[in-house]
Structure formats: C-alpha cells, structure tokens
Structure 1
C-alpha cells in the first residue's frame, strides 16, 4: 500500500484547492462532491446491477478507515518526536562533555579496545540481553513497541503490521558510522553484519525470510551507538508467524491484527460486508443474503407462465431455505 509520502506529487493541486476554498470543511465538500459527480462512490451495488458502486456500508468504512489510518500516523509521529526530544535532553550533558569530532569518533573505539577491553565486553553484553532477560511470551512481545506483533530474539527484535516489517538491532556504543554496518535484503533473504571496535565482523542476521518481500523498497538507518532499524515492505499482505524460517513461530491468535478495511481486496470486503449484513438481518428476523438469492430465483418461476402462483404476491415464508442451498 502507498505511504503518505507517495502522494506528495498531488500536494500543489490540493493546496491550491484548499487555499481557494479557505476552509477544511469546504475542501472536503469539494473532494466528496467530486466523488459524487464523477464516480459511483455513493452507489450501493445490488444483485440487479452489480456493475456500479460498493456493497452496502463499504464506502462509509473506507472513509472511516482512512481517517483512522492517518490519525494513527499522526499519533505515532508525535510520540516519536516526544521520545526523541526526551532522549536528546537526557543525553545532552554527556554530549556536551564528549562531543567528539569525526576524527575523535573514529579514534575512540580503538583506544578503548586497546587499553581496556572489559568495558567493550560490558557494553556489548548490555546491548544484547541474555537469554534469561529476554521476554518469551507473545503477551510480553506485545507490550514492547520493538516486538509488537512480532518477537524478541537473541540479537534483534522484529515487529510487523499488515504491510510492513520492522527490525531493531541493538549495537555497541562504538558503532557510530554506517560503513560499520552491512544490510543486504533479498527477495526472501536477509543478511546483517557489524564491524566491531576491534575490526572483526559480527554477523547478526543471516537467514531465509519466511515469505517474500519487496526487497527493493527496504530502508535502514543507524542511530549512533544505539541501534540499527530496518524497514521492509511485505510482498503479500498477511501476518508473518516468524521473521526467519529457522525461528520459533509466534502465536498469531495473541497479536493485535489492526487492519484498515480500505487496505483489503474487494473480494475480502465483500465477504466481511456479507457477514455484517447477515448478522444484522438475523437480529431483525429478516432474510439473510443466501435466502435473498434464492428468493430472487424463485420469484422468476413464481410469475412464470403456467405457474399456479402467477399474479399473486410472492410469499417467501412458503420456503425453508438452508444456508447451503446457495454458494
């Protein structure tokens, strides 16, 4: 699915409309009015004419789901900005004292490694929690943003939504440059390595992904001395039970599968709306979708030439229709 930045090419045109109308309310009226005049957005698809519109309730759900989607994006951006601000404020005293130049930043790891290797070991250990400290249940994974809908592993954690995967790899404080990191994501593979302070290469991840991904859209970043973050788009939108094929699988029944209805395929939406319609009809004591389909077929014979019911009002109560009678 497209991200918010994918639509920046339309900003000039949309800003022009917004500036001309002067109010968000009027801007929205323009947008929804366009859908009214030029599309079948407001038409309800029927059995008699299935060519136009959407099933009952789908258009409303689209509007609501898009609102929820971008509201969520905004909330995440605000939270991330506040977290970065808190982290920067907490680090400010240390940065003021150590703030190394580029040459000092390169030199510091070597000095630390030669003179006192123990702190390096300690730092590395703190970046990679021991097995005893690692959360092991899906409930624990869900409480951590870095393993939300995913899991915490020995050297990394991964999270997911319906479209994307995010991997967070803790690094030693000496990892301050991107050329110390190698990230290689293929169609169904991932390799991540780090050059440590002593110049040795530590392989963090090297394995086969459980499903194919859009490897060309992969992005990654290094937060100096803290972590590597890798973002990968899924090739097909569904939930991963594990990041790698040799990993333990997570319990998908315990994740939080938030998914916008606007992100679903038309056939999936049709199924969901059919279920919602049938549940509503059932509560009201009215015919469900499978019964209505049979009723339409029976009506054709009801008024056919030679039918004993011709000219009479169709009475669906005369028929007991099972759900299996129509596929």
Structure 2
C-alpha cells in the first residue's frame, strides 16, 4: 500500500538536500499541520516514531543480508508501540469544537471567541481529553492556511492534469513533459498545411496560417527540439503540441511566460517507479536510498567511503607519514 505514494515522496526527496532535510520536512509537517506531538503523551508519539523506525530498519537489514550474503544483525529490543497515536482527519465542525474547548479551558470563560479554521494559520490545539487521537488540519483549495498559500493565493488551481484550462487552450504536464491542446474553432476541416507551428528551444508560436497566433511567446523553461522530442499533431481541428522539458523533475507554473500561473504547490504528482526516472535523477535517488541504509547500519555513506578509499591510497603511497590522528570531516 505504501508504494502508491512513491511519486509524491520522490518529488519531495528530489528537492531536499539529503535525508536530514527530507526528515525535517516530514516532521515539520507533523508539527505545523497536525497535533501529533501534542495530541497525546510525548512518550506515545516517540514510541510511534521509533516503532516504525525499528520495523523498517529490520526490513532494510534483511534485504541487505539477502543481497550480500552477510548474516543479518541481531535485532535490538523494541519498545511496545501498541498505544501509538493515530492521525485522523476531522471535519470543520469537529475542528471548531476542538478549538472552542481548548480556548475555553485556556481562558477559563465560556465566552471565549475562536477564529474559523479557514482564517487561523496556527495548528489546531487538542481537546481536553489527552487520549484522543491527533487530528490533521484539513487542507483543501486556497483556504488551507498554509504559509506558502499566501504567495499562491492569486494563482490558478491546477486541473486534473497538473496544468490549467485557459480560455483559448488547455495544458497538462508531468515532471518530464507538457501537452498543449488548442481548439482551432473554424467551420471547415483544417489540415496540417493550414496550421503554422513554430517550436524552438525557448519559444512557441501556434495557430492558423495567415491569421494571428492562438498561442505564442517565450516558454517558461527550455524544451528539447534537436531530435524531434517536441512535436505537434492535428486531430479533429485541435492542435496537440507535445513539449519535452530539458530540466526534468520540475513543475511549470505556465506554458508561456506572462500567462496566468498555477500554484505548483497544489499539483498532485503521479505515482512513479525508479525505472520511470531519467538516469541522472534515478542515480541521485538510488544514492540517497543507499546512504540512508548505510547510516542505519552504522556504515559509511557513499561519499564517506570515497574519502576513506582516497585516504587509504594516500597512506599506501606515503608509508612514512603518521595518519593515526587523522579524522574524516
């Protein structure tokens, strides 16, 4: 079940600077948008985190042992996590009741006023019952209360294809390409020779010959055109233009610079596998996964191993030198 989120997590991981940064993003989300740390006893939250850590550490060690033939490390004692807190979504009404109860308890009066969930940027406070499961703040549309939404409140909400439906055209995208559909809206059946489409690495111009362009200008980012990666076709009086991004693993806010932009923080990445990624991105993700496994087993990461190998070569080349106090940074 968990692999259905791989697309989202790989997209997040590609924008993080290592595993520490990725963990910071995850735990920051729990702290800002849920009451995971405060909805129940701190010990319960700690047990929940460590329980999952031990579970996946053991699974990683088992896979490592199967791959290398080395004996599997002896498991360390694991704390009981049967009472771990659960994260559950609540309705707006339930959230309002939780905030009202918390405000009443804090102020000691029955007339305390509580802001609505749409206008309150702070995480929700837990109800008086400390055993209640943590509640996740509902995130929807432009009223989610995200700090980032302040900058994106005037932007368009992405369509189902992570693009936008504009008055004269529509577009969708994945992390690697963009597809544009332009209805010609003519009374006759158009043919390819009736169309004028000009694709360069940094610009797009499309429409009917001897008529104003229906879409044109500087592209948001460069596209691949050398080997016909970016192409166009005509189907039932609709121009279909396919653009291959030069910079993969990125979301475009618009096709043409200056056009209305979508809020790229609202896109919903499709599920993907490592085999779907380009060689550079796949190598980066595999390296990050390997380094994480190495750290879990107390072994050097790939970068640390390279430094150790270089030091060993230098020691062999200079046996007269004393390296006993050398420490790897």
TM-score, normalised to structure 1, is: 0.41
TM-score, normalised to structure 2, is: 0.41
The structure whose residues are more often helix, as a share, is: 1
Question: Which of the pair has more CA radius of gyration?
Answer: 1
Q: Which has the higher contact order (CA 8 A, sep 6+)?
A: 2
